[in-house]
Structure 1
């Protein structure tokens, strides 16, 4: 679990984030379909970071640029840590992250620009564990997931499956999803050396779909052609599926927020894009792409 932000940085994040959001009670326009916002000409706005969020943010950008041809956005992945590092060194305008910014990272952004960082929750997600569709195991407890990813459980028969070795897939350490699983499932301990590290969630899903004894993890939006495991908080507890209702309510134990981070309050194209992402139309796209809306 991360250390809480210092009072100064916490105030900066809260005050600035509220300044970037639409005023309460206003009918902010759906930027993809209504009157064009004020946007001064500028170079391409770069958006970099979380591989989990790439599908969603690329869709937002595609529709936003279709409605506003004068706006240019470039969206690339690389992992939450990569996006935040790019924000710190000034090589991206906006970072996507599937984890909260660490205190040290926030201080570096703040040193570069006293008005930042600005944190915005733009969608929600449930980290899911995938197995191949023909795997007889339908659910695992948090304790079993921890034991598998620490290397203490190595055979499916130990969790009610077939007598076969568990092939463990993981993400690279720059991934926000990697950090989330390490903190929330492994309690901060290191992944087993047996884990096969892959460069993106799509790669994990593909590997699991081919390996009948595999297990991997990632965002729910990527779960195509694989089975999502239900998760039990306690060894004998109720298996909870990563459904929209369970993620929004927090009943699913691995629910999380997805973030935009900026070095300063958004203006121009950046603000118009963020307003669109948080608009009713933008949040409908959240649902259509397999994530869960903020509201």
Structure 2
């Protein structure tokens, strides 16, 4: 009869087994996208139109757009092909600015982007449409499938944000106040001093606001001004700087400064700045770009993981977008939450709105 193991060795072995089992069952997983009410995907038969400009000679469907979405697009493509084995994809992802010209030229099924259309994108779309004789063609439909980033979470980038010096006692701003600081001619008048924002502490009430940002050159600053700040021109007190790093440095060296920039790991440049909590409307609570606020769709400067599509939609594009807004598609978005890009699935309200938009699209 074999000898029984020493009690201590037996106890250690049992403990090791328990730890292994615990690890197997407690491996961190992405938050369940089922929380947003995404339905299961119900595939319908689709065919690949052989003569479409977005179909390559070998029959693969071309997708052109944002480079940061490579892992997400690859995962969505692979999962969609499992439902539709007759559909194969090729992705050329070299930047959001490549997506709209390709979409206008019918060289891509969809244009994946993590920002809104900038005026230059819209102008390129219209010009290419006119050159192809598509007078009166509808502008592309934007279908959002998630949020692009959250933070701060060094070394990764925080989404677009308003930054102030760490010594600034301001609790937050609503987006109407942001517009009145950074642009001219808004309803209610321009905001020029910190006292107008309620700061009564000594040394603050009479001090002028110093606004910093990027150049109004058709990029982020132009895009946020037109899409989020009512399209008004930047204020005369707005100082455009060459880079996001320059904006952070300016705010870090200026207690009375405030900066508006896009995706940025500010801590790599300066430790004494902070993103300011924001409210979508006057009187509403302030929310920062942290993960819970982004997941709930409450951070007003969140940008979206989205696809632009030609209208009217063809069935292949519609099915792809329905898949991305399904429980399986949203799980793929959630799987990217810990990545450098930090994509986050839609809130329940935003998911329902995007599905309604897609259902109503011609």
TM bin (shorter chain): 0.5 to 0.7
Say which is worse superposed, 140-149 or 231-240, in terms of deviation.
Answer: 231-240
Tell whether the 8 Å contact from 1:139 to 1:229 is kept in structure 2 after alignment. Answer: yes
Which of 343, 352, 362 is equivalent to 1:291?
A: 343
Which of 48, 51, 54 is equivalent to 2:65?
A: 48
Shift of 1:293: 0.6
Equivalence map 1:12-91=2 (5 Å): 25-26=40-41, 41=58, 45-48=62-65, 54-55=67-68, 57-61=69-73, 72-77=90-95, 79=97, 83-90=99-106
| 1:188 and 2:204 aligned | no
> Aligned partners of 1:174 and 1:233: how far apart in 2?
24
Equivalence map 1:1-295=2 (5 Å): 25-26=40-41, 41=58, 45-48=62-65, 54-55=67-68, 57-61=69-73, 72-77=90-95, 79=97, 83-90=99-106, 92-97=108-113, 98-99=115-116, 108=129, 111=134, 117=140, 119-125=142-148, 128-131=160-163, 134-136=166-168, 137-150=170-183, 152-153=190-191, 159=197, 160=199, 163=207, 166-170=210-214, 172=216, 174-175=218-219, 178-185=222-229, 187-192=230-235, 194-196=238-240, 203-204=243-244, 206-211=245-250, 212=252, 213-218=257-262, 222-225=264-267, 227-233=274-280, 238-255=285-302, 257-263=304-310, 265=314, 279-288=329-338, 289-294=341-346
Shift of 1:215: 0.3
Shift of 1:287: 2.5
Q: Which blocks of at least 5 consecutive residues in structure 2 are unaligned?
A: 1-37, 44-55, 82-87, 151-158, 185-189, 268-272, 352-362
The answer to which structure, 1 or 2, has the higher relative contact order (CA under 8 A, 6+ apart) is 1
Q: Which blocks of at least 5 consecutive residues in structure 1 are unaligned?
A: 1-22, 29-38
Shift of 1:75: 1.5
Scaled by the length of structure 2, what TM-score is found?
0.49
Larger Rg: 2
Scaled by the length of structure 1, what TM-score is found?
0.57
Paired residues in the alignment total 246
